[in-house]
A and B are shown apart, each in its own frame.
Chain A
């Protein structure tokens, strides 16, 4: 990054250009962008922390996203209280699975990208616009993804045109896929998705969805060693972000604790979790 010694704004700042902060960095301070660094040929998948399971569920009037709190480095638990769900802007949330360092950097850059656009243009991007910007960000990280440093985000937000929550998933190459009802990414996602399939109903309230998310994360932790279940001893519980027409809100810690305690108590009766209501 170059700040003029005289204190004068550098020419690049005063040059008319686009509304993208990423593009501005690419031209002016490319070293600040992830994905521009050369790593050699090594495989880093076991040497840096990786975040694990994220779930997102839509409900009438919004969408909810939840993430477990574990980061792993090979067989080591690198962190038991990492946060992987963030507000992207006022009306959307973003979470990541994969390389934690790049994931957090990507989330920060994405947050600035959206805010920068909003300030320059005086209006917010459409939800599709936001999700496409995230695609571009992931694509910039492709070389790293090939060396075991992939970041796989999940993006969800409230769409003011369609008046409801929407979920977008991505692959490591930046492919963007809209999901219906619910989705999960990360190492424990297969198990979480199984649970979501059985527990999800269209008429669930936001609170019920939070319970479904917690149950699916417990199931993921049950079968995937890289996913952390609720830490009952340290009282570390999943981060749950809810986006509605009123904006992003992180579910307060005590509310999550109440839901987790209820789910945990139920698991004492039946360790495999709630059974599906009917077989027909």
Chain B
């Protein structure tokens, strides 16, 4: 009779966490940012069809990184839960807190059960309120831990580097255009070589509390995104890196460019104000 190896619970949990983290680290990052009129979501996503950001309910959205099949399943469960609650009670009774709790319990139970493999996902549940102070962003990790974050949240492979960049440049009450530029620049700062992301590599959506419809979620199309981004400059180091690449690294020691503030100047409204169509 062979004796099974003893594995301490600490080791077991550590291994499971490492497994989940490794899976998540493979993916590109996603950011949620509070701006003056709501919450902005920006994810690096080359697929126009497989979304990382999605609508859950009137004022709630979902963003995720990691394994698509796993977070898609969680998203669908979230939509079902929200629709079921809204149908049984009332639309106002569907809250982000309840959904975040359900996700936390689910992720936690799967993580600590021996029979199931931990989910390789990180998710955000965001809900806009009547004012910026009422906005809620919950960040959930693979083990079911839940954090109530303010301002911004970053998840994904290089979350720490990206979050550091956002932290340095974020200010409360930032405009949509400013927030968008900041998020795009931050996603480009996920390695030592800053890169400039173009609109076709990004998935962008907002929960816009100024929308007249009950449903506040709106995707920002590639064209609109390109237009907004063309009206602001990428941060100096990205620009420098891009120029350098363009000039084929011609040895011209340019003086160190002073960091230009992210363009937060008022620009054209992000969307046609007469355009009240959904999505």
Q: Are A116 and B79 in contact (CB under 8 A)?
A: yes
Please tell me which one of the listed residues B56, B83, B105 contacts residue A9 in the complex, with CB atoms under 8 A apart.
B105
Q: Are A6 and B77 in contact (CB under 8 A)?
A: no
Please tell me which one of the listed residues B49, B73, B86, B104 contacts residue A112 in the complex, with CB atoms under 8 A apart.
B86
A1-B106 contact in complex given A13-B80, A115-B83, A122-B51, C-beta closer than 8 Å: no
Within 8 A of B (CB), among A98-112: 108-109, 112
Q: Are A119 and B79 in contact (CB under 8 A)?
A: yes
- Interface: B76 (CB within 8 A): yes
Complex Cα spacing A9 to B80, Å: 10
Q: Are B83 and A8 in contact (CB under 8 A)?
A: no
Interface size class of B (residues with CB under 8 A): 20 to 34
B92: min CB distance to chain A, Å: 14
| CB-defined contacts of B115 to chain A, threshold 8 Å | none
What number of residue pairs across chains A and B have CB atoms under 8 A from each other?
67
Produce 1/0 per residue, B61-87, CB < 8 A to A: 000000000000110110111011011
Q: Are B88 and A9 in contact (CB under 8 A)?
A: no
Q: Are B105 and A24 in contact (CB under 8 A)?
A: no
Produce 1/0 per residue, A233-272, CB < 8 A to B: 0000000000000110000000000000000000000000
- Interface: A7 (CB within 8 A): yes
A90-B278 contact in complex given A119-B55, A119-B79, A120-B79, C-beta closer than 8 Å: yes
Q: Are B84 and A9 in contact (CB under 8 A)?
A: no
- Interface: B130 (CB within 8 A): no
Q: Are A119 and B81 in contact (CB under 8 A)?
A: no
Please tell me which one of the listed residues A29, A90, A108, A120 contacts residue B76 in the complex, with CB atoms under 8 A apart.
A120
- Interface: A40 (CB within 8 A): no
- Interface: B276 (CB within 8 A): yes
Complex Cα spacing A90 to B279, Å: 10
Complex Cα spacing A92 to B51, Å: 26
Interface size class of A (residues with CB under 8 A): 20 to 34
Produce 1/0 per residue, B266-279, CB < 8 A to A: 00000000001110
Within 8 A of B (CB), among A42-79: none
Produce 1/0 per residue, B89-126, CB < 8 A to A: 00000000000011111100100000000000000000
Please tell me which one of the listed residues A9, A112, A247 contacts residue B87 in the complex, with CB atoms under 8 A apart.
A112
Looking across the interface, which residue of chain B has its beta carbon closest to that of A89? B278
Complex Cα spacing A70 to B74, Å: 44
| CB-defined contacts of B88 to chain A, threshold 8 Å | 1, 32
- Interface: A21 (CB within 8 A): yes
- Interface: A14 (CB within 8 A): yes
B36: min CB distance to chain A, Å: 26
12 pairs, A vs B, C-beta closer than 8 Å = A6-B105, A7-B102, A8-B109, A9-B81, A9-B102, A24-B84, A116-B79, A119-B54, A119-B55, A119-B79, A119-B83, A247-B276
20 further interface pairs, Cβ-Cβ under 8 Å (given A4-B105, A246-B277) = A6-B109, A7-B101, A7-B102, A7-B105, A9-B102, A13-B76, A13-B77, A13-B80, A14-B73, A14-B77, A16-B73, A21-B87, A32-B87, A109-B87, A112-B83, A119-B54, A119-B55, A119-B56, A119-B79, A247-B277
